[in-house]
Structure 1
Amino acid sequence: MFRVEINSTRDVRALETEWLRFQDQAAGTFFQTYQWCSAWLATAGAAQNATPLIVTGRDPSGALLFILPFCVRRRQGCRVLEWMGGQQMTYGYGLYDRAFLRDAASWFATQGWAIFSELKEVDAIDLAEMPAQWEGSAHPLTSWFTLAGPNCSYLLRLDGDYEKVYGRKRSGETRRGNRKRDAKLNKAAKIEVGLPRDRDHAHRLIEQMFEQQRDRLAESGIHGVFNEHERQFVHHLIDLPDHMQPVLLPCYMTADGELEAVALGGLHGGGFWALISSLGSPRLRRYSPGDALLRRTIETCCGMGLTFFDFSSGSFDYKLAWADEEVRLHHAMRGLTLRGYGWALTRIARLAVKRGVKRTPFLWNAVLAARRTLFGQAA
């Protein structure tokens, strides 16, 4: 069993060099990279008064074994420990030395709770969106799981040959249908697909993407997503210094010179991590421009030599059609004080109800229909 020295710090910048070096070789996800966490803390996290609390584990020589990027935030009067990253975080995981990963689940099950023994300022923990398996290993915090979450994520395995991936995942009939729709789309408008020319171009694309997404979500009765600080967060990722780039890959499509669709993802660990997608005016939707851009984005990722495409959470038909793996997500919730126990029990009950609704098609479809009827805005 590994001997582990546990430390915690609130000084993110003090770990920058070591964190960046460690994440390049560690097991982890895009959402625990220094780029993601530091950008979120400087923008959306600051607006929510989130206080960083990064827990590190080291072997006796001082070498890093893991980094757990937590933060503390007040929720309903409780001081709650969470993963950094906000609502756009798909996976709660951490960064782990690959040799330590073999014993990590056992270590956290028997000794890991010592992490919380000194956290006097925390009432409860709420560690969300944790995959049961990642890279073929159990999540190191499996023993902490409280309940399965309402969401799943989806993963497509890539190789350098897009046509091989496309043929493996989509039937001949579907491919023929796509070719016909693509031909109609190109006949209806002058279509161009590409990547931003420079940072200024990327900023303009991202801002238009947010406007498109806001309007599209409003059609379904969803409002208030991507506030000012969350927008600043994404723009901040574009402005990170050169030694931290590339972070984002925004593939876009224009129709007659106007932005029609954007597929925004992050780059880390040889993969594309889908973040946000948007569609423009309804006039071309009959030709499925979003699906066309998705296929071109996957093709671009194959050409870049990426090995996987993560579709993020949410059970949509297009994800089910493309995915090789379904990733079930779990939550860990515990009270650490009397107030925290009450908060955690309420949170668990709410999540259990949400999971039951989402996994009952009749109920979930009824909720979606009611939301569109009561709150939806026409395109």
Structure 2
Amino acid sequence: MLDLSVCKHFDFRSDEYRTLFDLADVTAFQHPIWQDAMQRYLQHFPEVEERTLQMRCKTSGCLVGVVPLVARKKLGATVLEYANMNLVDYALPTMHRDIKNWIPDPDFLSKRLLETLGAYDVLRIKHMPVSDPAVLRLFPTGHYQKADFSAYLTELGPDYEEWRAANISKSERKHRDKKRRAMMREGDWQMQRLFDADQIRTAMDHLRLFHKDRYKDRPGEDLIQKQVTFDFYLDLACQNAENGFVRIYQFTYDGEIVAVQYGIEHGGRHLMLMMGLDFERVGRYSPGLLMTEDLIAECIRDGIKIFDFTVGDEPYKLKFGTRQLPIYTLWHTHSVLGNVGLTVAGAVNRTPISERLRRWVN
């Protein structure tokens, strides 16, 4: 059986969490480095209360599960959710692969879990890349809702040219080669992986500016324009470029920075988080396609097995031999108010409704 508890300041840098992380089927978003940085990020939001769930073997005390949760009020309801803060593309509980061995009676455990987590109306874990039965054993009355967007990834191999021939059509390869030749005739295109903190800061300033120009007419919020979020990514890169967890690249054209790509890597999987381009300067050369090809070639040279474009249905992702990864949200209600809220949330996704209600869902 499991012993359950909730704490506000779990030590994600501890040896026991690292051991659990190595025994769990999770992603770089559950890595001790990322989770530790997220915990510091949460301190900038006093309206958010940390409720990190710990699961331990009742006999040995061994840590077998951790779910970083936060509680906050939305339209009078208490929403308990994964500590996502719109920065986590893949939200997963960090659970031992054999967690089912510690859940012999899901109904009893569910009651104990609800007592442990404290008062809430709705629990949700959004951006789950799997509909994991083990999680539903914790919440037997919960359910998964498939998102209206997906993630995309491509399997790499040992040879770049072979991968390119197998995953990109001949006509598309010809088109890109033509663009690259035209670009190289008129200037010098260079890619550089960054490790120096000063260079990273300069590149991040460019990334922020490129983002602002590119996304100014798009719906939604460009979080990197918020200083606290920008500092989160900047600090993460400056502290973890050397150890390889963060991989940040700049692309220059005739010595000027025209593109920046920011990703994280773990277990042979590169996750692309942000890309910024100077479309005014190099847009006519399809720079997004060319820089992504250069990045994939670099990943293959480094032995990385998967290039993950993460969430979002941008059409360009389909041009790299990607497969689609469905995304889910786990919902669990714990009150009449929660049931009403979940019904409203469904209506929000189907009809034009006030932005205030839409923010409750998101």
Alignment of 1:188-337 (within 5 A): 188-220=186-218, 224-226=222-224, 227-240=226-239, 245-337=243-335
* Aligned-partner Cα distance in 2 for 1:188–1:105: 64
Deviation readout 1:87-137 (Å, 9 max, x if unpaired): 121112122222336x6898768734632223334232121111235xxxx
Secondary structure in 2 matching 1:159:
coil
Q: Which residue of 2 aligns with 1:54?
A: 52
- Output the aligned Cα RMSD: 2.7
TM-superposed deviation, 1:225: 3.3
Q: Which residue of 1 aligns with 2:355?
A: none
1:299–1:241 distance in 2 versus 1, CA, 3 Å: closer
* Aligned-partner Cα distance in 2 for 1:160–1:189: 30
Secondary structure in 2 matching 1:140:
helix
* Aligned-partner Cα distance in 1 for 2:350–2:67: 26
Q: Which residue of 2 aligns with 1:140?
A: 134
Letter of the 2:50 partner, please give it: P
Q: Which residue of 1 aligns with 2:41?
A: 43
* Aligned-partner Cα distance in 2 for 1:15–1:107: 31
Letter of the 1:90 partner, please give it: D
Q: Which runs of 5+ in 2 are unaligned?
A: 353-362
1:110–1:17 distance in 2 versus 1, CA, 3 Å: same
Secondary structure in 2 matching 1:11:
coil
Q: Which residue of 1 aligns with 2:181?
A: 183
Secondary structure in 2 matching 1:47:
coil
Alignment of 1:115-130 (within 5 A): 115-130=113-128
Moved more, 330-339 or 78-87: 330-339
> Are 1:93 and 1:139, in contact at CA under 8 Å, matched by a contact in 2?
no
1:114–1:326 distance in 2 versus 1, CA, 3 Å: farther
Equivalent pairs, count: 346
Q: Which runs of 5+ in 1 are unaligned?
A: 355-379
> Are 1:41 and 1:50, in contact at CA under 8 Å, matched by a contact in 2?
no
Secondary structure in 2 matching 1:275:
strand
> Are 2:240 and 2:246, in contact at CA under 8 Å, matched by a contact in 1?
no
* Aligned-partner Cα distance in 1 for 2:298–2:280: 26
> Are 1:131 and 1:139, in contact at CA under 8 Å, matched by a contact in 2?
no
> Are 2:200 and 2:237, in contact at CA under 8 Å, matched by a contact in 1?
yes
* Aligned-partner Cα distance in 2 for 1:318–1:280: 17
1:71–1:187 distance in 2 versus 1, CA, 3 Å: same
1:218–1:342 distance in 2 versus 1, CA, 3 Å: same
Q: Compute the TM-score of the two structures, normalised by the length of structure 2.
A: 0.86
* Aligned-partner Cα distance in 2 for 1:110–1:165: 50
Does residue 1:97 correspond to 2:96, yes or no?
yes
Q: Compute the TM-score of the two structures, normalised by the length of structure 1.
A: 0.82
> Are 1:29 and 1:95, in contact at CA under 8 Å, matched by a contact in 2?
no
TM-superposed deviation, 1:250: 1.2
Deviation readout 1:269-303 (Å, 9 max, x if unpaired): 22111111111142321111111110111111111
Deviation readout 1:317-374 (Å, 9 max, x if unpaired): 22123244211111122332343333333223323559xxxxxxxxxxxxxxxxxxxx
